[in-house]
Structure formats: structure tokens, C-alpha cells
Amino acid sequence: MLIEAKDLIKEYISEDVKTAALSGVSFRIAEGEFVAIMGPSGSGKSTLMHIMSFLDRPSAGVYKFKGKSIDQLSDEALAKARNKDMGFVFQSYNLLPRTTVFDNVKLPLIYAGIKRGIADKLVKEALTRVGLAKRIHFKPNQLSGGEQQRVAIARALVNKPAVIFADEPTGNLDSKSGNSVMALLQDLNEQGHTIVLVTHEKYTSEHAERIIRLADGKLVADEKVSHRVRAREGQDLMK
């Protein structure tokens, strides 16, 4: 099993006031799944993603990745595992504005210490997979929002991670560009990539195979998508 969460609790304390962001959340995600974590603002979905992606630790409960508990790993080991095994796609793209598409995608490989020749080849492969092979020398401000998000997806792909976390990936995009990004994520999943999508939008979540629903820090549903939305290039993404 790739991801296992059991009775996850996350509490924040401010001025002696304890606030529970997660309250006993449990689930499992196998390799190759496309899972959406859905819930309104304040439901705990961002907190859960931070724990799942080693950006935070739970207050209680067990979180295992590839069979190993997060408690068994130091902060340094978590950082290394995050760079090696996890790719990230964010709503705001998080691209370096003065850096070329090629160098933006190359960043995770630089952090991993991959040799230049191998890294350059991996970058070109990733950009080809997202349809941006002819944009490698462009800067982010020369691209559309949809193209910038594709660069972010290429960056998430380049180190061949075990899982890609996509946090509201269509939030800043128009309907057509959003659909293009969801089509790409579905294609990547069909090629064997594990995708964890975080969203507050019901329609977007239905592009996944399975939806984990949160409310007030609790898991309220975990179900297969009965009528899955199939994204296709050129279509509009309904909001």
C-alpha cells in the first residue's frame, strides 16, 4: 500500500486554545489510484495534504508512506523523500518568474544532485509529455495560465515521483485551460501515476476515480465516483 492513514489527528494551539484541524481520519491509497480529497474551506483538506506530503506531522495517529511510518523519519529524511517520491502542482503554479521553462522544470533534479546530462534529458522528456517541448526557452510571463500549469506538472513529473499532489490545480484557470489540465492529469494516471487531487469543487473532484470527503476535520465519505467526468482537450471545465 502506498499511503496509509489511521486515526490522524492534527491540533493547533494558540494562546492556550486548542483547535482540531483533523479528528481521527483514516484511509488507504494504493499505487496507481486517482483520488480527490474534497471539502469546503476549513474542512481540513489542506492540513491533510500537508501531512500526506511530509510538509507537516500529525499530532496523533499513524501515517505510513510505502509502509514506513512518518514517525520513523527525521526531518532531513522527510525532505529527501519529499523531493524523491512526491511531485507538487499548486493553484498559483509556483514558478520562478525570471527563469526559463527548462530551468523551472529542472529544479527538483538540481536539489537531488542529478548529473547535468541525465537531468537535461529528463527535463526534455517531461516537457514533451505535457506538450511544451517547443516552449523550453520561454519565461513564465510568456505563457498562458494553462501552459504555466503544464510547466508545473512537468516539474512535478521530472523526478518520476511515487505520487503527484495537485492542490486546486484549476483554481486560477479559465474553463478551457482547466479542462486541459484535468485531461493531462487523467492521462498521467492512466499511464500509471498516482494522483491526489485537493479541491473544493464537486465537478472537479469527479474527474478522479474516488472521492474522500472531509467536513470539520472528519472524514464523512470515501466512495468511488459512479459517473466519472472524462476531460478532453478543447472542452470547457464546468464550475
What pLDDT is attached to residue 231? 87
> For the chain, which ranges sit under pLDDT 70?
233-239
Which grid coordinates are listed for 209? 476515480
**Is there a contact between 183 and 231 (Cβ–Cβ < 8 Å)?**
yes
What pLDDT is attached to residue 238? 47
Distance CA 1, CA 30 (A): 5
What pLDDT is attached to residue 233? 58
Q: CA triplet 96, 97, 101: central angle to 5 degrees?
A: 70
Determine how β-strand 34-38 pairs with β-strand 210-215: parallel
Contacts of 45 (CB under 8 A, 6+ apart): 37, 38, 39, 198, 200, 214
Nearest C-alpha neighbor of 49 from the set 147, 166, 223: 166
What pLDDT is attached to residue 239? 42
pTM assigned to the model:
0.93
What pLDDT is attached to residue 14? 85
Could you read off the pLDDT of 222-235 as tens digits, one per residue? 999 999 999 875 45
Could you read off the pLDDT of 177-217 as tens digits, one per residue? 999 999 999 999 999 999 999 999 999 999 999 999 999 99
Nearest C-alpha neighbor of 185 from the set 203, 210, 165, 171: 165
**Amino acid sitting at position 25:** V
